[in-house]
Amino acid sequence: MELKTKSVKGGQLKNMIVKRLYFDKALSCADLSDHLEKSIPSISKGVNELIDEGLVIEEGFASSSGGRRPVIYALKQKAMYILTVAMDQLSMRVQMVDLRNNPVSGAVMTELPLLHNPYALQTLIENINSYIGSTGVARNKIVGIGIGMPGFVDAVAGTNHSYFNCGDESLTQLISAKTGIPVYIDNDSSLIALAEQKFGIAKAQRNVMVINLGWGIGLGMIVNGEIYRGNNGLAGEFSHIPLSENGSLCLCGKPGCLEAEASMLVVAEKAIAGIKNGRVSSLKNTDNLSQPQMVGDAIMQAANMGDQFAIELLSDAGYKIGKALSILIHIMNPASIVLSGRGAVIGKILLAPMQQALNKYCIPRLANSTALLISDLGFNAELTGAAILVMENFDKDIKHNLITLN
């Protein structure tokens, strides 16, 4: 089967149907009519054409209080695929998923330091193309590539102001030209928030702050049910909240930022220093103590196994994050704060010191109305968010996504 372009007039409604079924899994024609505000005859026609084209299948019957039960429809999961890429400051992961977010092939992680790396973009593109080749999936069946990345990302312009200097060309256009597939990018923390909102623990919540606990400390904000990006798309720089006047110097050039005091990279550096100074810990058996990424993963694993030094390091970081959260709560008054990303695996260890800091620094009336939650998506949230990013644009990018199968 091969993806082909159709006319804008004939395909826009069908793209809207495909997008809605992706997010809601299975719906009747009446449900689709309500959601899309289109007539039932128009919806039925679009659904039937999508069935003929191999994109939609009948999933069974909906429950009914009486009368004939309506047929519900779902996407045929292997009709198309989405390539997802999750990046942080040190590595990238890439994975192919079908239309129901089931992995087609296992995620592949590759070291990819971004800071002061002139070959970062070339490496990113090479890894994407190599992975596509390894899956055996034809490129014309990949509806898009979604990429989450750290830094100041302008999702609309397709640029990253922190990494990947592309001159006058947008990053999305450049990668698309090298892969032959539409590309969409966004900040990693925004994508994690999007994943929690659509498929995670924040589903159906309208005011949620999602903390991305990775090598840095990111923030994705859901305000009034929408991802909040600020005036020019750069809102949510939670990691640069100043905690002290005389703290460690941050990469941004300012002293005392949260990221310079409590990120996993900082925790890893403290662990390495402590072990060299004789601290008793299972971490001393970690391979290659010179690599913060390996040490960071080992710290989280050791803490969950009860290692006291690892727990001490993470508790100190958790308290500092909680202090910063008190500022966030005072400003945003969210219904909940979700701990997500790589560090969700140690969420239970972080909760107590975070709550202790909130008790000290936050007005009780505000703190008591904000729930601290631990993500179920965890480390996979960014990959899920990257897939969502592609499908969020499915009915907007008319040029690429008016498709049918033969």
CATH domain 203-376 topology: Nucleotidyltransferase; domain 5 (3.30.420)
Mean of the per-residue pLDDT values for the chain?
A: 90
Q: Does domain 3-75 have CATH number 1.10.10.10?
A: yes
User: What is residue 69's predicted lDDT score, i.e. its pLDDT?
Assistant: 87
The dihedral built from the CA positions of residue 339, 149, 124 and 112, taken in this order, carries a sign that is negative
Q: How many CA atoms lie within 13 A of 270 on its CB side?
A: 19
201: nearest Cα among 377, 380, 389: 377
Specify the DSSP element, H or E, that contains 205. none
The reply to whether domains 81-191+383-405 and 203-376 share a CATH topology is: yes
Q: What are phi and psi of 340, to 5 degrees?
A: -135, -175
Q: Does domain 81-191+383-405 have CATH number 3.30.420.40?
A: yes
Q: Which amino acid is at 4?
A: K
Task: Give the C-alpha separation, 157 to 159, whole Å.
Answer: 6
User: What is residue 141's predicted lDDT score, i.e. its pLDDT?
Assistant: 95
User: What is residue 10's predicted lDDT score, i.e. its pLDDT?
Assistant: 52
User: What is residue 402's predicted lDDT score, i.e. its pLDDT?
Assistant: 43
**What is the b/e burial string over 19-30, where b = at least 16 CB atoms within 10 angstroms of the residue's CB?**
bbbbeeeebbbe
pLDDT band at 397 (very low <50, low <70, confident <90, very high): low
- Domain ranges for the chain: 3-75, 81-191+383-405, 203-376
Mean pLDDT for 370-397 is 93
Q: What pTM was computed for the model?
A: 0.90
User: What is residue 342's predicted lDDT score, i.e. its pLDDT?
Assistant: 93
pLDDT band at 81 (very low <50, low <70, confident <90, very high): very high
